[in-house]
Amino acid sequence: MLKSILAVIVGYIVMAIFAFAVCTCAYLGLGVERVFQPESYDISTIWIVVLIAIAVIGGIIGGLVCAAISKSKGACTALVVLVLVVGLIGGIMTAMKEHPSAARSGDVSTLEAMTLAQTPAWLCFVNPVLGAVGVMLGARMKKLPAA
Protein backbone atom coordinates (compact mmCIF):
# COMPACT_ATOMS: atom_id res chain seq x y z
CA MET A 1 0.00 0.00 0.00
CA LEU A 2 2.74 2.45 0.97
CA LYS A 3 4.60 1.52 -2.21
CA SER A 4 1.53 2.39 -4.30
CA ILE A 5 1.05 5.74 -2.56
CA LEU A 6 4.73 6.54 -3.08
CA ALA A 7 4.44 5.54 -6.74
CA VAL A 8 1.50 7.91 -7.30
CA ILE A 9 3.28 10.79 -5.57
CA VAL A 10 6.57 10.24 -7.41
CA GLY A 11 4.76 9.80 -10.75
CA TYR A 12 2.93 13.10 -10.24
CA ILE A 13 6.09 14.93 -9.15
CA VAL A 14 7.97 13.61 -12.19
CA MET A 15 5.15 14.88 -14.42
CA ALA A 16 5.25 18.31 -12.77
CA ILE A 17 9.04 18.61 -13.04
CA PHE A 18 8.93 17.51 -16.68
CA ALA A 19 6.18 20.03 -17.50
CA PHE A 20 7.97 22.89 -15.71
CA ALA A 21 11.34 22.15 -17.30
CA VAL A 22 10.00 21.72 -20.85
CA CYS A 23 7.71 24.77 -20.58
CA THR A 24 10.59 26.91 -19.35
CA CYS A 25 12.96 25.71 -22.09
CA ALA A 26 10.29 26.04 -24.78
CA TYR A 27 9.41 29.57 -23.60
CA LEU A 28 13.06 30.61 -23.68
CA GLY A 29 13.62 28.86 -27.02
CA LEU A 30 10.56 30.22 -28.79
CA GLY A 31 10.68 33.69 -27.33
CA VAL A 32 7.87 36.00 -26.31
CA GLU A 33 6.72 36.80 -29.84
CA ARG A 34 6.05 33.15 -30.72
CA VAL A 35 4.48 32.24 -27.38
CA PHE A 36 1.91 35.07 -27.41
CA GLN A 37 -0.34 36.61 -30.04
CA PRO A 38 0.93 40.05 -31.19
CA GLU A 39 0.53 42.75 -28.50
CA SER A 40 -1.57 40.40 -26.38
CA TYR A 41 -1.28 37.90 -23.57
CA ASP A 42 -3.35 35.38 -25.56
CA ILE A 43 -1.19 32.33 -26.20
CA SER A 44 -0.29 31.39 -29.76
CA THR A 45 -1.20 28.23 -31.66
CA ILE A 46 2.43 27.10 -31.41
CA TRP A 47 2.26 27.36 -27.62
CA ILE A 48 -1.04 25.46 -27.54
CA VAL A 49 0.61 22.61 -29.48
CA VAL A 50 3.57 22.66 -27.07
CA LEU A 51 1.24 22.47 -24.05
CA ILE A 52 -0.71 19.58 -25.56
CA ALA A 53 2.49 17.66 -26.32
CA ILE A 54 3.78 18.30 -22.79
CA ALA A 55 0.52 16.98 -21.29
CA VAL A 56 0.64 13.74 -23.27
CA ILE A 57 4.38 13.07 -23.00
CA GLY A 58 4.47 14.09 -19.33
CA GLY A 59 1.57 11.75 -18.66
CA ILE A 60 3.34 8.88 -20.39
CA ILE A 61 6.48 9.46 -18.33
CA GLY A 62 4.45 9.75 -15.11
CA GLY A 63 2.56 6.56 -15.93
CA LEU A 64 5.79 4.69 -16.64
CA VAL A 65 7.34 5.86 -13.37
CA CYS A 66 4.23 4.99 -11.36
CA ALA A 67 3.98 1.53 -12.94
CA ALA A 68 7.70 0.85 -12.47
CA ILE A 69 7.58 1.71 -8.77
CA SER A 70 4.21 0.20 -7.83
CA LYS A 71 3.93 -2.70 -10.28
CA SER A 72 0.19 -2.19 -9.76
CA LYS A 73 -2.66 -1.16 -12.04
CA GLY A 74 -4.46 0.30 -9.03
CA ALA A 75 -1.71 2.83 -8.36
CA CYS A 76 -1.73 3.87 -12.01
CA THR A 77 -5.50 4.31 -11.86
CA ALA A 78 -5.05 6.47 -8.75
CA LEU A 79 -2.54 8.61 -10.66
CA VAL A 80 -5.05 9.00 -13.51
CA VAL A 81 -7.69 10.19 -11.03
CA LEU A 82 -5.20 12.56 -9.35
CA VAL A 83 -4.19 14.08 -12.69
CA LEU A 84 -7.83 14.57 -13.67
CA VAL A 85 -8.97 16.04 -10.35
CA VAL A 86 -6.03 18.40 -9.83
CA GLY A 87 -6.01 19.36 -13.51
CA LEU A 88 -9.72 20.09 -13.65
CA ILE A 89 -9.59 22.13 -10.43
CA GLY A 90 -6.71 24.10 -11.96
CA GLY A 91 -8.70 24.47 -15.18
CA ILE A 92 -11.68 25.87 -13.30
CA MET A 93 -9.47 28.32 -11.43
CA THR A 94 -7.77 29.43 -14.66
CA ALA A 95 -11.08 29.83 -16.48
CA MET A 96 -12.44 31.95 -13.62
CA LYS A 97 -9.49 34.36 -13.35
CA GLU A 98 -9.83 37.85 -14.72
CA HIS A 99 -8.31 38.58 -18.09
CA PRO A 100 -6.11 41.68 -18.13
CA SER A 101 -7.06 44.14 -20.83
CA ALA A 102 -3.60 45.70 -20.98
CA ALA A 103 -1.67 45.16 -24.18
CA ARG A 104 1.62 43.30 -23.97
CA SER A 105 4.70 45.26 -24.85
CA GLY A 106 8.36 44.30 -24.95
CA ASP A 107 9.98 41.37 -23.19
CA VAL A 108 7.98 39.43 -20.63
CA SER A 109 9.66 37.53 -17.81
CA THR A 110 8.79 33.87 -17.34
CA LEU A 111 6.96 34.64 -14.09
CA GLU A 112 4.99 37.47 -15.71
CA ALA A 113 4.16 35.21 -18.66
CA MET A 114 2.82 32.49 -16.34
CA THR A 115 0.74 35.03 -14.43
CA LEU A 116 -0.72 36.99 -17.34
CA ALA A 117 -0.97 34.34 -20.08
CA GLN A 118 -4.49 33.93 -21.43
CA THR A 119 -5.11 30.25 -22.10
CA PRO A 120 -8.28 29.31 -23.99
CA ALA A 121 -10.85 27.82 -21.60
CA TRP A 122 -11.15 24.62 -23.67
CA LEU A 123 -7.42 23.93 -23.26
CA CYS A 124 -7.69 24.22 -19.47
CA PHE A 125 -10.06 21.25 -19.52
CA VAL A 126 -8.56 19.23 -22.39
CA ASN A 127 -5.00 19.17 -21.01
CA PRO A 128 -5.84 17.23 -17.80
CA VAL A 129 -7.70 14.67 -19.90
CA LEU A 130 -4.71 14.36 -22.25
CA GLY A 131 -2.40 14.00 -19.23
CA ALA A 132 -4.61 11.23 -17.84
CA VAL A 133 -4.62 9.47 -21.22
CA GLY A 134 -0.83 9.79 -21.25
CA VAL A 135 -0.64 8.18 -17.80
CA MET A 136 -2.76 5.26 -19.03
CA LEU A 137 -0.53 4.87 -22.10
CA GLY A 138 2.63 5.00 -19.98
CA ALA A 139 1.25 2.46 -17.53
CA ARG A 140 0.35 0.10 -20.41
CA MET A 141 3.93 0.28 -21.72
CA LYS A 142 5.10 -1.37 -18.52
CA LYS A 143 4.11 -5.02 -18.08
CA LEU A 144 2.02 -5.19 -14.92
CA PRO A 145 0.64 -8.25 -13.16
CA ALA A 146 -3.11 -8.83 -13.46
CA ALA A 147 -5.13 -6.95 -10.86
The set of residues, in sequence order, having a beta carbon less than 8 Å from that of 14 and lying 6+ positions away, is 61, 62, 65
- Alpha-carbon Rg of the chain, whole angstroms? 17
**pLDDT for res 144:** 65
Question: How large is the average pLDDT for residues 40-52?
Answer: 93
- Rounded CA-CA distance 28/23 in Å is 9
pTM: 0.88
pLDDT above 90: residue 96: no
Report residue 41's pLDDT band, with 50, 70 and 90 as the boundaries: confident
**pLDDT for res 101:** 67
Instruction: Tell me what the pLDDT averaged over the chain comes to.
Output: 90
**pLDDT for res 117:** 83
pLDDT above 60: residue 147: no
Mean pLDDT is lowest, of 19-33, 55-69, 107-121, 123-137, for 107-121
Phi, psi of 36 (to 5 degrees): -115, 155
**pLDDT for res 61:** 97
- Could you give the angle at which helices 121-141 and 2-30 cross, rounded to 10 degrees? 130
